[in-house]
Structure 1
Amino acid sequence: MVQINKAKHWLDLKKLILILATLCVFTSLLNALFSSYQVQKQVMVKDTLEANRAYATKLADVTDLFLQSVLMQLKASSETIATQLDNPEVVNKELSQMLTRTHSFDSIVLVNAKGEIIGAQPSSLGVIGATLKNEVETLPLREKAPFIVGPFVSPAGNLMVSPTHPMFDQEGIFVGFIAAGIYLKGDNILGRLLANHHHQDKTYIYVTGPNGKLIYHHDDHRIGQDVTKNEVVESLLSKTSGSAQIVNTQGVAMLAGYASVPTSGWGVVAQRPLEVTMSQLANTMRHVLKTTIPFTVFLLICVLGLGTLIAKPLWRLAKLSEQVEDGRNIDFPHVSTWYYEAAWLYQAMHSSVKNLGAQIQRFDDERKQDQLTHLFNRRGMEKWLETAYEQQTPFSIIALDIDHFKHVNDTYGHDVGDVVIRKLAELMRTNAREQDHLCRSGGEEFLMFLPHVDIDKADRIAERLRACTAETEFGEAGHITISLGISHWPLCSEDLHHALKLADRSLYQAKANGRNRVEHAVLANHNVA
């Protein structure tokens, strides 16, 4: 019989199992932590960028609406004042009423065609009789059209932006312009609009003018600074929107979302320091590590105990082999091993990771929206319908479709078609409530779900959207029209899918009746199928 040198073979099976198990556990742990860190980092950065982009876009849209409102106020007053320039009492009364009517701006001045300030409110400005000289202030004289000037330092010494509107007499001759002053360091609607946002995670916003200078910043001392070296600002100067991971002009890594304000050429940026996101990730990983270490130690202790049990049947096999070598005839017994259990444990871990990955993917899928319009896609629509059905929430359905959309694509190309679709989506948002659910169900097909809205009110909403669309110019495509069909669940049909089909049928009925119109299904108690 061959003798084994135990001093030479110091590594027995129990030690080997412990060493291999320890290496496997720690290698798997480190790999899982590293992989989890990388995945979480990508997800957190991506989610932060998307959240900032969406927030900047919404804030840009609201700011654009505010500026359009100011220009409309100026237009109304310019029409009143243009024919009364020789009546100072009427002019001053109108200017005073404009200033006190809203808190949209801080001052208002009236300039004649020669660039002389002939009226101003508040009267304490002391600028009446002054003449506009610098190139920025005299832009409205050259443009002779609605214009937003700034930022610039006014004759009264205020850093401001100024929405302006031209004035024409009854013969259509340019007689000057009226300008509202919005102080960039003042307490006004624009400042409060930009300052009041919901983020509490060190996310902040700033606004740049068309010249790349700061119009708004949470640090008042930075207002007026030139930030054109910031790559996000460079994108905004070309009137593009999006998100990017950047290093700002202060040398700080940021996760920024940005959007342009069409009316003024301004840019809105919502950004969060990358360091804040990474610190949250570090806290998450520390928590994971803290909860994992006790389990790892417990597992190693179990491995040591199991190693002894594993070695025992193999030791029995070794002893049996000695008997076989001695020539003794023995019955070779069945020896239970751990291989199946180890495979089962691996399969259990593999299944857990696989299920976790599937759950993350499912959450990611549910979060997706239509990339072109940022309305909900069909997945989002189906999830909302499922929730509404479970909660028995009644709602009206508006199905709409762009008339002759194929002609738009064939005539102007798909890029212009995409512009039309995006613009229509914006009009839908404008004409909808916050709780309404807006979906893009197909190429040029859309659905609006209006909770707790009866079919008559839905008809008025649809008609308003139809008229608004017909009056709006869609860029190169010009004017378009839409056809709309209305249904209600459960009043038109208790079957949810049938209620959707009724809205679709009404839409096609609108098209059959000449397009650019609204049709709606009749309530079920009127015996309409």
Structure 2
Amino acid sequence: MVQINKTTHWLDLKKLILILASLCIFTSLLNALFSSYQVQKQVMVTDTLEANRAYATKLADVTDLFLQSVLMQLKASSNVIAQNLNNSAQIDNELKQMLVRTNSFDSVVLVSASGKIIGAQPSSLGITGTMLKNEVETSPLRKQTPYIVGPFISPAGNLMVSPTHPIFDNNGNYLGFIAAGIYLKGDNILGKLLSNHHHQDKTYVYVTGPNGKLIYHHDDHRIGQDVTANEVVTSLTRKGSGANQIINTQGVEMLAGYASVETSGWGVVAQRPLAVTMSQLSDTMSHVLKTTVPFTVFLLICVLGFGGLIAKPLWRLAKLSEQVQDGRNIDFPHVATWYYEATWLYQAMHGSVKHLGAQVQRFDDERKQDQLTLLFNRRGMEKWLETAYEQATPFSIIALDIDHFKRVNDTFGHHIGDTVIQKLAELMRRNAREQDHLCRSGGEEFLMFLPHVEISQATKIAERLRHCTETTVFADAGHITISLGVSHWPTCSEDLHHALKLADRSLYQAKANGRNRVEQAVLANHNAA
């Protein structure tokens, strides 16, 4: 009989099962965590880039609309002044009215065709009767078209831009121009538009001029710097909007979205440090690990117990083998071993992988849902739009947001603002069908997608929701109103993104027309007509 020295064969079946099971479980766990990390990283980077691009585009569009509005105001005043050029009292009154009608300007100047300043408000500027001097100041005389001068430093040391509009008499003779001074750091609409951002994640916005120099930055010391070496600034000269992962001129890796302001040639960039996004990813993965490790430990304890049960039949076979070698005549029973072992090992591994897969799926589902309102977030919206587009499902789009929501937060606090957003989400559900897709696209902004609903019916639904919101009392906040824009794909546009933009434009049209109203996008066939 062959004698086996147990001291030289320390690895028995029970230990081998435990070692192999541990290796398999931990390998699968690490693989699942690594895969989850890579997926989460890609998703978070992509979402951040898209969010920054969308924010920069919206800010650029609003800035563009503001500048166009300013030029229209100047045009209206130039017509009045052209009819009263010899009436200094009338001119002075018109200049004063320009300052008080809106909070768009910090100063207004009237210049004759010879370059002499013949009127200025406020009068404390003390420049009436002086001549324009440098090339920047006289550029509107040469162009004789609506033109935005600057940015440049005013004599008072303020960084400003100056929209201008030419003045012609009834015979088309050039009489001079009217110019509005807008301080980029002033208490005016443009200054507030560029400076009021509510990000808590180190995302910030900067604006570049046509020459690639900074005209707005949260760090005042950087204003005026040449940033043409920045890849984003270079991209702004080639296309209207986009997003890139870049290293900025300060050597910091950024996730940047950008868009251009068509009227002025400025560029708006919204960017966030990559490190901030990665820190959020680390927190997410830490949560995944904390959730998974206890189950893994429990599974290892079970494997150890089952290992003893699995090893027992083989131990019996070993004992029977010793009896056979001893020459004893025994009845060698049938023992089910290998198939039984393989089945249980497979079930243990299958259960572990299935659990990890369910965890990953749950986290993926949570990423598609806005945690405050339980509506879909932007990622969930994109998934739905992708499916609708692939299946050629026509749908109406309702874009809406809360009027004067900043006032709610400033007056009652952000916790009441969150309650208002939740209540509005509830009203949206009441006014929607089960198959409709409701999204919170950001802040106080929402989107509703109504499959197989014509635009006329969607407008009625939007009006119903508007009325319902207006008549609802929101706890602590009282009454609020919403503005809504409606479009349809593919009726309004065969381009899906353009159809979405039309809804957004209609929303801003509703706000421009007084808020608390519904505006409908013009149908594509109507435009063609």
Normalization by structure 1: what TM-score? 0.72
> What amino acid is the match of 2:494?
E
Instruction: Specify the code of the residue in structure 2 equivalent to 1:103.
Output: N
Q: Is the partner of 1:170 in helix, strand or coil?
A: coil
> 1:39/1:225 Cα in 2 relative to 1: closer, same or farther (>3 Å)?
same
Task: Tell me the alpha carbon deviations over residues 47-70 of structure 1, each in whole angstroms, 9 at most, x when there is no partner.
Answer: 000011111111111111111110
Provide the rounded CA distance (Å) in 1 between the counterparts of 2:435 and 2:393: 19
**CA 1:483 to 1:358, structure 2 compared with 1: closer, same or farther past 3 Å?**
farther
Aligned residue identity for 1:13: L
C-alpha change, 1:54 and 1:32, in structure 2 (3 Å) is: same
For residues 422-441 of structure 1, the aligned pairs below 5 Å read 435-436=484-485, 438-441=487-490
Matched, 1:347 2:345: no
Q: Does 1:367 find its partner at 2:382?
A: yes
Return the alpha-carbon distance in structure 1 between the equivalents of residues 270 and 391 of structure 2.
25
Q: Which amino acid aligns with 1:483?
A: H
CA contact (8 A) 2:161 2:182 kept: yes
Match of 1:397 among 450, 454, 457: 454
Aligned to 1:84: 84
Distance 1:156 1:104 in 2: 19
The alpha carbon displacement at 1:141 in A equals 1.3
Q: What is the percent sequence identity of the aligned residues?
A: 64
Deviations 1:23-76 (A, max 9, x none): 223222222222222211111111000011111111111111111110000000
**Which deviations, in whole Å up to 9, do the C-alpha atoms of 1:291-333 show, x marking residues without a partner?**
3333333333333222222211221222334445547462532
Tell me if the contact between 1:366 and 1:379 (Cα under 8 Å) persists in the aligned partners: no
Tell me which residue corresponds to 1:338.
341
Q: Structure 1: how far apart are the matches of 2:397 and 2:126?
A: 61
- Separation in structure 1 between the aligned mates of residue 319 and residue 216 of structure 2, nearest angstrom: 85
Counterpart in 2 of 1:268?
268
Cα deviation, residue 164, structure 1: 0.8
CA deviation string 1:203-244 (max 9, x = no partner) = 111111111122222223333322222111111233431001
Given the alignment of the two structures, is residue 483 of structure 1 paired with residue 526 of structure 2, yes or no? yes
Aligned to 2:310: 310
In the alignment, is the contact (CA less than 8 A) between 1:370 and 1:377 conserved in 2? no
Offset of residue 99 of structure 1: 0.7
Matches within 5 A, 1:74-473: 74-323=74-323, 326=327, 328=329, 330-335=331-336, 337-352=340-355, 360=364, 363=368, 366-368=381-383, 381=395, 388-390=432-434, 397-398=454-455, 435-436=484-485, 438-441=487-490, 444=494, 465-466=521-522
Query: Which residue of the partner structure matches residue 2 of structure 2?
Result: 2
Question: Contact conserved, 1:104 with 1:188, CA < 8 A, in 2?
Answer: yes
Secondary structure in 1 matching 2:85: coil
Residue 53 of structure 2 contacts residue 270 of structure 2 at CA under 8 Å; is this kept in 1? yes
Q: In 1, distance between residues paired with 2:279 and 2:40? A: 12
Give yes or no for contact 2:141–2:176 (8 Å, CA) kept in 1: yes
2:396–2:488 Cα contact (<8 Å) kept: no
Corresponding residue pairs, total = 430
SS state at 2:259 partner? strand
Cα distance in 2 between the residues matched to 1:299 and 1:437: 54
| Shift in CA distance, 27/84, structure 1 to aligned 2, threshold 3 Å | same
Q: Contact conserved, 1:167 with 1:178, CA < 8 A, in 2?
A: yes
CA distance in 2, matches of 1:378, 1:14: 58
> SS state of the match for residue 227, structure 2?
coil
Deviations 1:444-484 (A, max 9, x none): 38699999x9xxxxxx988x854xx8xxxxxxxxxxx7239
Please report how far the alpha carbon of residue 356 of structure 1 lies from its aligned counterpart in structure 2 after TM superposition.
Answer: 6.1
8 A Cα contact 1:60 1:261, kept in partner: yes
Partners of 1:346 and 1:321 lie apart in 2 by 32
Query: Structure 2: which amino acid aligns with 1:441?
Result: P
Query: Contact 1:107 / 1:182 at 8 angstroms: preserved in 2?
Result: yes
Are the equivalent residues in 1 in contact too, given 2:53–2:257 (CA < 8 A)? yes
Q: Secondary structure at the match of 1:186?
A: coil
Distance 1:394 1:19, change over 3 A: closer
- Whichever residue aligns with residue 334 of structure 2, its letter is P
Query: Is the CA contact 1:149–1:164 (under 8 Å) kept in the aligned structure 2?
Result: yes
Deviation at 1:96, TM superposition (A): 0.5
Runs of at least 5 residues in structure 2 that lack an aligned partner in the other structure: 369-378, 399-427, 437-447, 458-481, 511-516
Distance in 1, matches of 2:396 and 2:320, equals 67
Shift of 1:394: 13
Greater shift after overlay, 230-239 or 96-105? Answer: 230-239
Contact 1:153 1:160 in 2 (8 A): yes
Please tell me the residue identity of whatever aligns with 2:526. Answer: S
Q: Is the 8 A contact 1:369 1:376 kept in 2?
A: no
Cα deviations across residues 120-143 of structure 1 (Å, max 9, x unaligned)?
111111222232232222221111
CA–CA distance in structure 1, aligned partners of residues 394 and 319 of structure 2: 67
**TM-score computed with the length of structure 2 as normaliser:** 0.72
1:165–1:177: 8 Å Cα contact kept in structure 2?
yes
Q: Which residue is 1:519 aligned to? A: none
